[in-house]
Amino acid sequence: MSKELIRLRDCVMSYGDELVLDHINLYINDKEFLTLLGPSGCGKTTTLRMIGGFLSPTSGDVLFDGVRINHVPPHQRAVNTVFQRYALFPHLNVFENVAFGLRIPKAEPSGRKVKLPEREIQERVMEMLSIVNLKGFEKRPVSALSGGQQQRVAIARALVNRPRVLLLDEPLGALDMRLRKDMQNELKRIQQEMEITFIYVTHDQEEALAMSDTVVVMDGGRIQQIGTPEDIYNEPKNAFVADFIGESNIIDGIMRADGVVEIFNRKFQCLDKGFAKDEPVDVVIRPEDVDIVDEAAGQLKGTVTSVTFKGVHYDTIVDFYGFKWLIQTTDFCPVDSRIGIKIDPDGIHVMKKSEYSGMFGDYSSYSEEYEELDVVEDESQEGEGDDPWEDGYEE
C-alpha cells in the first residue's frame, strides 16, 4: 500500500483581490509520478512552488510526512527542483556542475558546518551520471552538450543531493518533439530507478498521459479531476477535462433512462447509470470511437466538410444538423460526401452538466484553431529560454 508523503490541505493563494489557488486539496504518495496538468494561468506552477517552499499559502497547510512545513525554506526541505531553463554553470564541466551542491558545507544540528569527503563526492556524481546515461561525459563542457544532455545534467545535479521529491517545471518545453518523446521515457525510467517522488508540471496532455501514475487536471485555480491517465481520458468529469485531454466531440444530450441517452432526437445505448430520468447531460464521444458507415446504415447521417491527412489517419470534420464533429478514421471520405456513423455503447461517455457546458466540442472553426495553434507555437519559440520563476510570473 502506498504511503502518503505530501498533503495540501485547503490551500488558498491570493495576491490582493486576485485568487490564484482556490482551496486546493491534494495528497501525493511516496515514489509516485504525479503530474499537474492544465493551461497557462490554471495554478499548477503556483502549486509546485508551494510544495518547493518558494511560496507560502495565504491560508491552508502544506504537510510533508505529516509535519506542517508552510514556512520551511526551500533548502531545508527534502525537495529539489528542475526548471525549464536548466541554469547550468557554463564555466564548469559536467562533473563540476553535478558536484556543485555537494561541495557546499552542510550545517549539522550543532551548527558546525561539515564538508563531504572528495571520495564520496566522486562516487555520488559518477553514480548520478550513470543513472542519467552520461557516463564518460564528466569532463565535457556543458556548452558542448545537446539540449537533452544538458537537461540530464540538470536532473543529475538535482538528484545528487538525494531528495525525497523532485519537482519539474515544464522541463521539456525547450526541446524539439522527437527529443521530448525520448526524454519522457528517460524521466520515467529515472524516477522508477531512483524510487523517489516526481511532481511534474506541464500543459502538454501527451506528456502527462505518457509518464504519470496520477494526473491532476487544473483550471481556474481549482482541481477539476484527479485520476490515472486511463481514468482521466476515458472517464472525464466535465467538459473542460474532456476537451483538454485529447480531442472530444461534446454534445448536449438527455438521459432517458439508465444506459439510454438521447442525442439529436436519436436514442443511443451507453454504459452510464445513476442519472435522473430526462436529466440534461453532456455527452462525450472521442473521435477514434466513431465508425463511418454507409449513409443508409448510420445511426446519424451527416456531410463531410473538411479532411486533413495526419499520417496514420484522416481528421474528418462532419456536419450533423449544424454541429460539427471530428472523426479520426483510416477511411478517406471526400469533402461534401454524405456518410453515416455508428457508435458502440462503450464509446459514449455521459457527464453531469457543469460551468463548462456548451463551451467545447464543436469543430466548426477547426481550420482557424489550427492557424491559432501555429501562431502560439511561433510565439513560444521566440520566447524560449525565459524562466517565468525568475521574472516573478505566476501560473
pLDDT for position 366: 56
Domain ranges within the chain, ordered by starting residue: 4-234, 248-364
CB-based burial label for 320 (10 Å; 0-12, 13-18, 19+): middle
- HEC assignment per residue over 130-192: HHCCCCCCCCCEHHHCCHHHHHHHHHHHHHCCCCCEEEEECCCCCCCHHHHHHHHHHHHHHHH
Query: pLDDT tens digits, residue range 51-62?
Result: 999 999 999 999
Residue 200's nearest CA partner among 175, 232, 170 is 170
- DSSP sequence for 224-265: EEEE-HHHHHHS-SSHHHHHHSS--EEEEEEEEETTEEEETT
pLDDT for position 151: 86
pLDDT for position 388: 38
Question: Structure pTM?
Answer: 0.85
CA-CA distance, 290 to 304, in Å (whole number)?
14
| CATH architecture for the domain at 4-234 | 3-Layer(aba) Sandwich (3.40)
Query: pLDDT tens digits, residue range 28-68?
Result: 999 999 999 999 999 999 999 999 999 999 999 999 999 99
| CATH architecture for the domain at 248-364 | Beta Barrel (2.40)
- Report how far Cα 290 is from the mean position of its chain's Cα atoms: 26
